[in-house]
Amino acid sequence: PTMAAVGGMAGPALIYAVINHGNPINMNGWAIPTATDIAFALGILALLGSRAPISLKILLTAIAIIDDLGAIIIIAVFFTENLSLLSLLLGGVAIVGLVIINRLQITRPAAYILLGIVLWVCTLKSGVHATLAGVITAFAIPMRTTDITDRSLLKDLEHRLHPWIAFMILPIFAFANAGVSFSGIGVSSFVEPVKLGISFGLFAGKQLGVFFMLLLGIKLGVSAMPRDTNWAQLYGISLLCGVGFTMSLFIGSLAFEHSSFDVPIRLGVLTGSILSAVTGYLLIRFGSSR
């Protein structure tokens, strides 16, 4: 999965760079097609029911998680300016606090929420994107069960938060960020380099990068072929990794501050994601019977 995720980030970035290499401003968007929207990709795979073996779902989940962690690292490294050392230091203290309460096996959600809020404020003030605070806080929440409660705090929080995230937060984010005004859109909007770089990066770059690394890993013996799967299904998974949607829109909002890029970004993300979703679904749907 790690090799596939790396290939799935390098392929789209390379294709975007080839299409936009002559324009330094456009090159700011190279990271937009590198992300995978894990919620939408897994949702599409879920529509296939028993035609998608559990090993495929595990593989897609692993690739998407590593891919999104890579996207977060990209955000932290390439979209961060004017760092505040004091805020970073205070954020580091909050992280140490999270580690300590984790090691002490404290299972009160309030403790993690409080330190998570402190970390979020420090991260926001430091100049680093505040998204990292949520990721670090989540890593600190213990997954193991305790002798006292026999419950996993992380699994309990996941169970409680999932309906709110899946049915409210994600739809609101998608609705607010995916809208494209068709007024004034002509043929030129569909051949704009930023739009082409994003759509071809998501659709072509993702599938080629992910599948090549999967093929390489299996042929070299680094990894084994997932159980009960065939090459057509693996290629279908590679296609589904091109569903960038909310993650790509989010990175796009960081890459370009000027509103003139909103339409090409959204058109590119929607085009690439829809093509990847439809072709990936069809390939797994009909490839499972082969």
pLDDT in tens, 83-139: 788 998 999 999 999 999 999 888 888 999 999 999 999 988 888 778 788 888 998
151 phi/psi in degrees, rounded to 5? -135, 150
Taking the chain, what is the end-to-end CA distance rounded to the nearest angstrom?
Answer: 24
pLDDT at 147 over 70: no
Per CATH, is 2-79+186-287 categorized as 3.30.420.40? no
pLDDT digits (tens, 9 = 90+) for 254-285: 888 777 888 888 889 999 999 999 999 999 98
Name residues whose C-beta falls within 8 Å of residue 13's C-beta, 6 or more positions apart in sequence: 30, 31, 33, 34, 201, 205
Q: pLDDT band at 289, cuts 50/70/90? A: low
Report if pTM > 0.85. Answer: no
The backbone region for 150, taken as left when phi is positive above 0, alpha when psi lies in -120 to 50, beta otherwise, is: left
**Looking at residue 76, what is its pLDDT?**
77
CA–CA dist 200, 216 (Å, integer): 23
Helix (H), strand (E) at residue 17? helix 2-20
